[in-house]
Chains A and B, each alone.
Chain A
Amino acid sequence: MGPLAINDIISQNTNFLLAFVIGIGFGFVLEQCGFSSSRKLAGLFYGYDMVVLKVFFTGGVTAMLGLLFFSLFGWVDLNLVYVNPTFLTSAIVGGLIMGVGFIMGGFCPGTSFCGAAIGKIDAMIFIIGLFIGVYFFAFGYPMFETLYKASFLGSPKFSTMVGLSDGVFAFLLIVVALGMFYVSEWVEKKFPQEEY
């Protein structure tokens, strides 16, 4: 009965070991999807390459279905699964900063490490910039604290906010995701782009 670490089925150290293995797997999949190429990542913004959208929606939908089925079979207790707390203001501000940085740098934090791992110099420069940002935020935290903690919403689930059961919400999200897959296939055919 999961989650494994919280229910003391595995120790904290085993948990870290698993995280390490999963992290390597995650990096490998990112790289295999071509996420270490900043052209591919920026392609979503300019509309010529939808692979980022497809990968993240596939990942999200798979994880969602997996958790719901695991809960249905009694393998995982969804009440114990960590849900990221929502700070609405900082989510919006942070999202904007992240988005601008994404287009300017051509990477997001995870993919920059993928790029650095296969020896891309722009990704390494991006990581340096990332750390400058981290230090700037950490040392300037008292300055940002009010903004950072503004409009705290707890850990809401979208399904409860719109008043649907988790299953029905999952169904709708999957329909939307599939629609997006077909649209992005169509877009990619319509505006073909040479692979680098």
Chain B
Amino acid sequence: MKPLHYLTLVLLIMAVIIAFVPQNTTRPYKLTAAQLLEEIRTGTQFISPDEVADKIIKKDPSIQLIDVRNPREFDQFSLPGAVNIPLQDILSENYFDILNQGTKMNIFYSNGSTEANEAWLLTRQLGYQNNYVLQGGLNYWMETVLNPLKPGSISSNDEIARYDFRKAASMALGGGDATSVAPAASAGTTSTPKPVIIPVKKKKKAAGGC
């Protein structure tokens, strides 16, 4: 047989195989279980409520709050500037640009931290960057930022400073002396602004000619 005939035979066999096998469309996980466990163990995904409050008050454009609760809860109360991505829709194509980007710092929150952590876990497994979790969720947010507990008179300066910050943050964010979910009424009426998402450009290699 001539070389061309060998080539023909091999190429045709491979061509037939590739024509009949289903296309592989799986998007593999980016992190191994061990890597993920290490991240969970060190808790790198958590951001303290104080830090988030500080960023909200300063109107830091680099953060994007993401409410992973259901739309009903989101309508009742949400943090300023948050977008609603219910946990069950987290894999939806519509939110891909928000979740997988390299410019903003996404902060997931839910009532506790379980759902937000689940959202973080899923997106982290998919290899998305810049996703974080509000530590303790909204419950802890209420406790610390909106209704901070006055420290005792023998508290350290740090503690008093933190209390002062929380007190101020609480006023700025509509908490203050209200013990219940006070901002619900105001938050419900204001429409949540849609953030402008700049999709990250994938690193492009220089293309070759002939």
Contact = CB atoms under 8 A, between A and B. Distances in A.
Instruction: Verify that A and B bind, or say they do not.
Output: yes
Contact of A82 (B12, B24, B207): B207
Q: Which of A74, A111, A165 has the most CB of B within 10 A?
A: A165
B12 A109 contact: no
Interface size class on chain B is 20 to 34
B41 interface: no
Contacts of A145: none
Interface in B1-31: 4, 7-8, 11-12, 14-16, 18-21, 23-24, 26-28, 30
A83 to B, nearest CB: 9
Interface in A102-133: 108-111
A1 B16 CA distance: 25
B12 A110 contact: no
A77 interface: yes
Per DSSP, chain B at the interface is loop
A70 B145 CA distance: 52
A32 interface: no
A132 B151 CA distance: 75
Contacts of A80: 202
Given A171-B18, A174-B14, 11 more contacts: A5-B205, A56-B210, A65-B15, A72-B24, A80-B202, A82-B207, A109-B210, A167-B18, A171-B15, A174-B15, A182-B4
B27 A79 contact: yes
Contact of B204 (A65, A72, A82, A177): A82
Interface string B177-210: 0000000000000000000000000111101111
Contacts of B8: 178, 181
Nearest to A59: B210
The interface size bin for chain A is 35 or more
Contacts of B4: 181-182, 185
A145 B30 CA distance: 39
Nearest to B203: A6
Interface of A is mostly: helix
Nearest to A98: B209
A53 interface: no
A72 B203 contact: no
Interface string A71-114: 11010011110101000000000000000000000001111000
B24 A61 contact: no
Interface of A: 1, 5-7, 56, 58, 61, 65, 68-69, 71-72, 74, 77-80, 82, 84, 108-111, 165-168, 170-171, 174-175, 177-178, 181-182, 185
A145 B77 CA distance: 50
A74 B64 CA distance: 34
B202 A6 contact: yes
Given A6-B203, A68-B18, A74-B24, A181 B7 contact: yes
Select the residue from A58, A109, A171 with max chain B CB neighbours within 10 A.
A171
A185 B5 CA distance: 12
A178 B12 CA distance: 9
17 contacts: A5-B203, A5-B205, A61-B11, A65-B14, A65-B18, A74-B24, A77-B27, A80-B202, A82-B205, A84-B207, A108-B209, A108-B210, A109-B210, A170-B18, A171-B18, A174-B15, A177-B11
